[in-house]
Amino acid sequence: MAATPIPEALASAVRRWRDQGEPVQPPIRWSRDAWRKFFPDRHEFLDALPDRIDRAEATSHATAATTPEGAERAFLAAMIWGYGRVGYGPWRTSRVLTENPGAAERLAEVAIVAREHGGLAAFRDLAGKPLRYLGVAFGTKYLRFVTAALSADSAPILDAVVRRWFATHTGQRLMIDEWRPDVYERYVGLLKSWSERLDLAVDTVEELIFRSAVSREGSGQWSEPWADSGEPAREAQAALLALERLFDTADSGAAREARPHLDELGRIIQQGWTPRSAPPDSLG
């Protein structure tokens, strides 16, 4: 079977990143007080975290994830990084840990599978016995940091931003409304194929896809052209991102119905800023 071509959007993102000296992804700001409110027994851990968390910081807290105590800390760090300053993040994270009996033990079991068998096995294990209220988008954030800390076989993040990038630039619909090992395996297979030809780690390819789809105002990093196209485009893209993150944590039925509409909104926004001289493949 012929290898899937590297999308021009990814090739362009890699070129921009390399031209700028391969800058790291900026750390994420978070609201310490909000998380302290929902986790009164974790004040010492939360107070020790920096005001901004990056991928390396979150990974460092996953080294002991094979124990329930370590898994809970790793999960908290991953969720803080994933939600950032989103107001409902602490509540949704607390709900996962408090409304699933033995949640920390289950997260530790998954970390052991990741350490011994790799990322795909860990995904399949979590899919076989998922935690209520933990969907693919944020579940793979936990898996990403656990595998980065414990395994050579990565479990890259698959959230709404990455999923819509795939829909826009490859035409592939990676459904994340439920835990689907076959979909995730296809996604990881594509990333691995592209990473080998780009001479990059799988995690780096996922990160560059995410960063090419999102602009962090004031970060100084490169972004898609819509970020420089004026305030309306930025506001529209920010609103779409907020909706996608909301549906990352929605019930599967609602998310499944919303995804095609969000994809179409993304295309409309992208077509709105694309210059007339832009090549056709820039629209995906």
In a domain, 1, yes or no: no
Q: Provide the residue range defining the domain that includes 166.
A: 8-274
Q: Are 68 and 76 in contact (CB under 8 A)?
A: no
In a domain, 2, yes or no: no
Percentage, residues of the chain above pLDDT 90: 68
When mean pLDDT is compared across 133-147, 201-215, 257-271, the lowest value belongs to 257-271
Q: How far apart are the first and last CA of the chain?
A: 23
* pLDDT category of residue 242 using cuts at 50, 70 and 90: low
Separation CA 116–CA 75 (nearest Å):
19
* pLDDT category of residue 220 using cuts at 50, 70 and 90: very low
In a domain, 283, yes or no: no
In a domain, 224, yes or no: yes
Q: 53 forms bridges with which residues in the sheet?
A: 28
In a domain, 231, yes or no: yes
Print burial letters for 204-237: b (CB count within 10 Å at least 16), e (below 16): bbbbbbbbbbbbeeeeebbbbebbebeeebbebb
Bigger pLDDT: 187 or 213?
Answer: 187
**pLDDT for 273:** 45
Return mean pLDDT, the chain: 84
Report for 112-121, 159-168, 228-237: range of highest mean pLDDT: 112-121
Residue 265's alpha-carbon distances to 169, 174, 273, in angstroms, are 14, 17, 13
Residue range 105-162, pLDDT digits in tens: 999 999 999 999 999 999 999 999 999 999 999 999 999 999 999 999 999 999 999 9
**pLDDT for 1:** 47
| Full-model pTM | 0.80
Q: Are 20 and 223 in contact (CB under 8 A)?
A: no
Q: Average pLDDT, stretch 67-80?
A: 98
Give the total number of structural domains in the chain.
1
In a domain, 284, yes or no: no
Whether the pLDDT of residue 263 is over 90: the answer is: no
* pLDDT category of residue 190 using cuts at 50, 70 and 90: very high
In a domain, 156, yes or no: yes
Bigger pLDDT: 260 or 127?
Answer: 127
**pLDDT for 4:** 87
